[in-house]
Amino acid sequence: MSIKIGIMGYGNLSRGVEAAIRQNPDMELAAVFTRRDPATVKVRTEGVPVLSESEILDWKDKIDVLVLGGGSATDLPVQTPKYAEYFNVVDSFDTHARIGEHFGNVDAAAKKGGKVAVISVGWDPGMFSLLRMVSDAVLPEGKHYTYWGKGVSQGHSDAIRRIEGVKDARQYTVPVQESVDKIRNGETPEFTARQMHTRECYVVAEEGADKARIEKEIKEMPNYFADYDTTVNFITEEELKKNHSGLPHGGFVIRSGVTGLEKENKHIIEYKLQLDSNPEFTGSVLTAYARAAYKLSKEGVSGCKTVFDIAPAYLSAKSAEELRGHLL
């Protein structure tokens, strides 16, 4: 009997989850829920019903885990606590500053309903968090660095698109090689944001728009660009489509620590991701944690969990014997 997964929403991330489910023979996609008119949503897995979000509670006993594909700004703060009472759920909530609050809300709902909720799953937060945490425990005297890219930041691309005169845009976050080399070399400096990443923007301007003003607005935008060395390239719509239509991403977490009675020995732990498709990889991580939520729920566990709280074996379709035999 396979694990029945429901997906809320059908954007890039949800499609990534849909594709991942097909690679996991112990799972099946049971239904997709949408706020749009279901008739307008065509899913790529044959025979899977698309339903209005308003019907979701009818699926309470027909779905083992509900994966929430929405965004952290407005969708997940509402949806995850709302549905954690009725379903085992997994989300990719990534607003770091609000994780404590989100955890509390979701935990209360999941405990009330006797369900398992796994929040903040993906690669950062998610896999990168796992690596930061385990490396911090193993090398308690040290420092960690997180680099993102080279890859497309959807938040920064959206911020550029909101500028007047911008038709479309794509922003790449790029690690500064010079600072990376220092860390890999065993140094543990304090870096400013500017020393760690640069921002490369590809912008399609509307006809007649003032490009100098657009460039200035981008470069001076607080939080997003002002603290970075930012380059702005104006390109045509065709170039954007041809050269910048993918959503590659990646990055790396490095922990540099010392051991020894005199702290004389250095150790460097590095975890690196190179992803052709950010939403498909994130969807794959969500899918593995959906399996964990299912297994934990079967064991009678309830409440909110993060990647820190789940033993790795729960992520796998393989038995404990297989894991010990082939992967230990």
Contacts with its own copies, residue ranges (CB under 8 A): 16, 19-20, 22-24, 44, 96, 99-100, 103, 120, 125, 127, 129-134, 136-141, 259-261, 264-277, 280-281, 283-285, 288, 291, 306-313, 315-318, 320-321, 323-325, 327-328
Closest to its own copies by CB, 99 vs 176, is 99
CB of 328 to its own copies, least distance (A): 5
CB of 293 to its own copies, least distance (A): 13
Closest to its own copies by CB, 89 vs 218, is 89
The DSSP symbol for 308 reads: G
Closest to its own copies by CB, 86 vs 314, is 314
CB of 157 to its own copies, least distance (A): 19
Cα–Cα nearest to 148, from 187, 199, 91, 97: 199
β 50-52/27-34 pair status: parallel
CA distance 46 to 150: 35
Closest to its own copies by CB, 237 vs 276, is 276
| Alpha-carbon radius of gyration of the chain | 22
CB of 48 to its own copies, least distance (A): 13
Q: Give the three-state DSSP class for 258.
A: strand
49 Cβ partners below 8 Å, 6+ apart?
31, 32
132 close to 251: Cβ distance less than 8 angstroms: no
Closest to its own copies by CB, 108 vs 209, is 108
β 166-175/151-152 pair status: antiparallel
CB of 100 to its own copies, least distance (A): 6
